[in-house]
């Protein structure tokens, strides 16, 4: 033992360890760790921290993956079990009569452009623009002295031919009397056979001369009739009751009666009945027939409607426009509806085949064409829709749906055949 009462221990200690003994230092002096010990303790702390950090990251990743898997599973189950709430509309049957409004043009029931048939100067003009005329009423009188002279000359020629006929008939009568007197003499031998032959041939010649004279008179009568007809063309008359809408001549004007270059003198229109021309498109043309009701409206006459009926149709569609020319006759005794104006025609056309009204909001358009989603016992049925006419907010179809069925409005993009849905509201389809 030493002076401090401790037993000397040299076992296990070396000179290198003497500095590590605490009792070799002054108790009052603060102890400082050695650098190697500090490094070992730092390494242990760093290793423990790194282990905890790695363990925490692994645990956090496992928990995140587990949470995401749970969310995906929950979302899948929610989507599988989710029943969307949709708006629906009820399909309605279209009316048996289809109302179609189309642009049209009015025209006079009868319209005639009066051309000159005789050549001459206007001697008198009896009418002007806007005058009402009756059938056969004179419109103008032409001065045609040349035709008057021709008629007078041919009348004189006809008189000459009549005189020639009278002479031929007298000669025929004389030849007949001569033969009647000479016939018994020839038969009894008192006159020669030659005399009898001369009498017979003279009678035949005079009879032929009478025939020629009669033919000449008939030809002259035909020529006179033609001249008088041409002379009658100098008096221009109205072909029917109507109103003068154009006048292109005046007193003293020279008009030509040539068939190709004749002078256009007047235009007459019959306005007590108005024709309305309308071109009906192909989708409505198959129901158009004479007797279909029509209503004509003119924008400049807003407070009046002109009822009428389809009078005639072309029976063939125009290949360029696929439209059917249709005419409607409108009574116009008060002449309130003028010819040549723009108007609209509302036709009440019977439907040749049944159709249905579907809102345009319900249509699904994809690579399969036009479709609708029909609700049947709480499940959807995707059906192909055959659209015949598109009216913007609604369409008309002839196949794919039935009256009373419910179609989904604004169907979701992920909606498929057989999905369950619940109804939120019922919207009635518009009527035509």
| pLDDT 10s digits, 110-157 | 999 999 888 889 999 999 999 999 999 999 999 988 888 899 999 999
What class, spelled out in words, does domain 85-94+354-428 have in CATH?
A: mainly beta
27 or 208: whose pLDDT is higher? 208
pLDDT, position 82: 59
pLDDT, position 323: 93
Q: If you write DSSP's letter for every residue of 39-57 in order, what string do you get?
A: HHHHHHHHHHHHHHHHHHH
| pLDDT 10s digits, 2-44 | 444 444 444 444 444 444 444 444 555 555 556 666 667 777 7
Domain range list for the chain: 34-80, 85-94+354-428, 119-237
CB contact at 8 A, 241 and 135 = yes
| pLDDT 10s digits, 54-76 | 777 777 777 777 778 777 766 66
User: Is the pLDDT confidence value at 389 over 50?
Assistant: yes
Residue 103: Cβ within 10 Å count: 10
Residue 90: Cβ within 10 Å count: 15
The CA-based angle 76-78-79, given to 5 degrees, is 65
Percentage of the chain modeled with pLDDT above 90: 35
User: Is the pLDDT confidence value at 271 over 80?
Assistant: yes
pLDDT, position 83: 66
82 or 235: whose pLDDT is higher? 235
Percentage of the chain modeled with pLDDT above 70: 86
Give the closest residue to 316 by CA, choosing from 306, 326, 330: 326
pLDDT, position 10: 46
Dihedral sign from CA coordinates of 324, 329, 330, 332: positive
Q: Which segment of 252-261, 284-293, 392-401 scores lowest on mean pLDDT? A: 392-401
User: Is the pLDDT confidence value at 431 over 70?
Assistant: no
Give the closest residue to 121 by CA, choosing from 259, 255, 232: 255
What class, spelled out in words, does domain 119-237 have in CATH?
A: mainly alpha
What's the whole-number average pLDDT of the chain? 81
Cα end-to-end distance, the chain, whole Å: 126
235 or 17: whose pLDDT is higher? 235
pLDDT, position 32: 53
b/e sequence 114-143, b meaning 16+ C-beta within 10 Å: bbbbbbbebeebebeeebebeeeeebbbbe
pTM score: 0.57
The CA-based angle 11-12-13, given to 5 degrees, is 95
Most confident of 92-106, 240-254, 413-427: 240-254
What are the Cα distances from residue 355, in Å, to 133, 157, 368? Answer: 52, 80, 22
- The reply to whether 119-237 shares the fold of 85-94+354-428 is no
Most confident of 4-8, 163-167, 181-185: 163-167
pLDDT, position 54: 78
pLDDT, position 85: 74
| pLDDT 10s digits, 335-370 | 889 899 999 999 998 877 777 778 887 777 877 778
User: Is the pLDDT confidence value at 1 over 50?
Assistant: no
389 or 187: whose pLDDT is higher? 187
């Amino acid at each position: 033992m030493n002076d401090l009462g401790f037993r000397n221990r040299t076992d296990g200690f070396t000179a290198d360890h003497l500095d590590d003994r605490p009792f070799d230092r002054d108790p009052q002096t603060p102890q400082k760790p050695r650098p190697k010990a500090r490094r070992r303790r730092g390494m242990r702390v760093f290793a423990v921290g790194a282990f905890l950090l790695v363990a925490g990251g692994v645990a956090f990743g496992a928990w995140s993956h587990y949470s995401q898997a749970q969310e995906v599973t929950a979302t899948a189950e929610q989507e599988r079990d989710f029943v969307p709430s949709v708006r629906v509309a009820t399909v309605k049957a279209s009316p048996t009569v289809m109302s179609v409004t189309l642009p049209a043009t009015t025209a006079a029931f009868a319209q005639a452009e009066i051309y000159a048939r005789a050549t001459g100067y206007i001697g008198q003009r009896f009418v002007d623009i806007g005058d009402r005329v009756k059938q056969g009423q004179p419109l103008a009188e032409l001065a045609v002295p040349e035709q008057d002279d021709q008629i007078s000359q041919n009348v004189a020629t006809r008189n000459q031919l009549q005189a020639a006929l009278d002479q031929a008939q007298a000669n025929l009568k004389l030849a007949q009397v001569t033969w009647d007197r000479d016939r018994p003499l020839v038969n009894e031998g008192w006159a020669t056979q030659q005399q009898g032959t001369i009498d017979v041939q003279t009678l035949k010649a005079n009879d032929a001369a009478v025939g020629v004279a009669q033919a000449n008179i008939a030809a002259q009568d035909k020529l006179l009739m033609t001249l008088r007809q041409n002379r009658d063309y100098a008096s221009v008359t109205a072909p029917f009751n109507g109103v003068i809408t154009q006048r292109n001549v005046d007193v003293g004007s020279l008009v030509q009666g040539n068939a190709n270059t004749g002078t256009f003198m007047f235009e007459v229109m019959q306005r007590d009945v108005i024709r309305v021309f309308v071109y009906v498109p192909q989708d409505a043309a198959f129901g158009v027939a004479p007797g279909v009701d029509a209503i004509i409206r003119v924008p400049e006459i807003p407070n009046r409607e002109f009822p009428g009926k389809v009078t005639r149709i072309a029976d063939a569609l125009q290949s360029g426009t696929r439209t059917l020319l249709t005419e409607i006759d409108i009574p116009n005794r008060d002449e309130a509806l003028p010819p040549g104006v723009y108007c609209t025609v509302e036709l009440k056309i019977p439907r040749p085949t049944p159709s249905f009204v579907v809102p345009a909001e319900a249509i699904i358009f994809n690579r399969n064409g036009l479709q609708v989603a029909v609700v049947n016992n709480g499940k959807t049925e995707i059906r192909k829709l055959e659209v015949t006419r598109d009216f913007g907010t609604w369409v008309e179809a002839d196949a794919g749906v039935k009256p009373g069925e419910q179609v989904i409005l604004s169907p979701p993009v992920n909606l498929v055949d057989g999905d369950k849905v619940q109804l939120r509201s019922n919207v009635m389809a518009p009527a035509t």
